[in-house]
Structure 1
Amino acid sequence: MTPTTSRRLRVALVEDQPLFRSMLERTLAELPDLELVAALGTVAEARAVLTPGVADVVVLDIDLPDGNGIALGVTLRRAQPDLGVLLLSAHDAMNLLLDLPRDVAHGWCYLSKNSGTSEKALVHAVRAAAAGETVLDPALLQRVSPRAGSAVSRLTHRQYEVLQLLAQGLSNSGIADRLEITEKSVQNHVYAVYATLGIDAEPARNPRVSAALRLLEETGPSL
């Protein structure tokens, strides 16, 4: 769901660690275009409070005292198909995104609590989730490399750089700025990535989401 100019983006937070939850509350509450509508600590509280239409995005800790944040996200998404989901975890559990049911796999983002994620990255991921996009943790992406024989391994060095930045949620103009190349060059690289990975550039599913998930699927820890 893309936020409109008529109202602020409504964000709900489900995090059981009081200190970390209060830090997230302060960060989100200070932004004029965001509205923190709930700050909860358990799956049970979330199911009771987060009925369809209460929030546009939910920020979920994966490990909650009475259940799993991913399962909670699936339940909430099926009740509200346009709900964005940002997962947070103290462990590197990014690969869990690959196990999401296909009917709810769009609009999920993942950040690690331990990777030095900035407030800017957090807010960017919240907004991306609301728009149905996928953002993966930048620091964790730097620790992986393509698996031998995979389609990702056939990308050129520049195409792989573009794919990694795309998976971090950067726009074509943002990628161009980061790599100091033209936006037209980025567009050409993006289409080359889609062609190599066999991704349709105009399907019902967002091709940038599909590309990010393929990167996740076809990479592993760097040696």
Structure 2
Amino acid sequence: MRVVIAEDNVLLSAGLELLLTRFGFDIAAIAGDAGTFLAAVREHRPDVTIVDVRLPPSFRDEGIRAALQARREQPGLPVLVLSQYVEQQYAAELLSTSGGGVGYLLKDRVSRVDEFADALRRVAAGGTAMDPEVIAQLVQRAGDPIAALTPREREVLGLMAQGHDNTTIAGQLVITDNAVHKHIGNIFTKLGLAVTDNGHRRVLAVLTYLNAAGLSGR
């Protein structure tokens, strides 16, 4: 699985390369700025990318804007944002783009390398990997699509956004698998996701959940 990394911190990028290589990833390129990252994506067409929000020269939002540009050029390109910061506007825009896996993890809250590797694989496969703190900040701005959900349904959808399967959700909420299945069915119905959406409904539900925050803030 080929990975392109956008990270200007040399020690962190070298650490990522070493650790991910041990987990079977092929690091195609490491870029220290947005322009180099975009060039690497065009050249290598990676299976997944890891992007820091803040890159040279201004260290504001160059990284996440480059990720958005990369997804415009290569629709469906999986992007995992790994940053110290939650850039709400661009995060919501990235998460609301259609197709391809997306994730947003906070550097200070990644405690296990194996869990990070699993999150990267999940994003590469078209799924989501969201830090709860990122979700919390985005949901504070959420609009009408989420207002119809019960508190329990919001809890279930929040755990879905983190990439958890039904069994894990059931364990964390101390409810049965059948109860989780029922809650998810209610979420799909309330968000207007028809049966014809098939397996994509789970991802669409998560994106609707996060997109509500972005659309309400624009």
Shorter-chain TM-score tier: 0.7 to 0.9
Cα separation, 1, equivalents of 2:93 and 2:63: 13
Secondary structure in structure 2 of the residue aligned to 1:92: coil
What stretches of structure 1 move > 4 A for 4+ residues in a row?
101-105, 142-149, 217-220
Matched, 1:206 2:205: no
The CA deviation at 1:218 is 4.6
Q: 2:53 pairs with 52, 62, 65, which one?
A: 62
Cα separation, 1, equivalents of 2:78 and 2:105: 14
Contact 1:53 1:80 in 2 (8 A): no
Cα separation, 2, equivalents of 1:148 and 1:78: 25
Contact 2:142 2:209 in 1 (8 A): no
Equivalent residue letter for 1:88: L
Aligned twin of 2:6: 14
Contact 1:136 1:169 in 2 (8 A): yes
TM-score, normalization by structure 1: 0.78
- Deviation track 1:117-142 (CA, whole Å, cap 9, x = no partner) reads 54244223311221222222123335
159-168 or 183-192: which moved more? Answer: 183-192
Equivalent residue letter for 2:155: E
Secondary structure in structure 2 of the residue aligned to 1:63: coil
Contact 1:74 1:104 in 2 (8 A): no
* Structure 1 alignment gaps of length 5 or more: 1-8
Q: 1:111 pairs with 105, 108, 114, which one?
A: 105
Aligned twin of 1:35: 26
Equivalent residue letter for 1:178: Q
* Structure 2 alignment gaps of length 5 or more: none
Contact 1:12 1:37 in 2 (8 A): yes
The CA deviation at 1:58 is 0.7
Cα separation, 2, equivalents of 1:113 and 1:104: 25
The CA deviation at 1:27 is 2.2
Cα separation, 2, equivalents of 1:76 and 1:218: 23
Q: How many residues align?
A: 211
Counterpart mapping for 1:37-186 below 5 A: 37-51=28-42, 53-66=44-57, 68-100=62-94, 104=98, 106-116=100-110, 118-142=112-136, 150-186=144-180
Contact 1:40 1:46 in 2 (8 A): yes
Secondary structure in structure 1 of the residue aligned to 2:42: coil
Which one has a larger percent strand, Structure 1 or Structure 2? 1
Equivalent residue letter for 2:154: Y
The CA deviation at 1:214 is 3.1
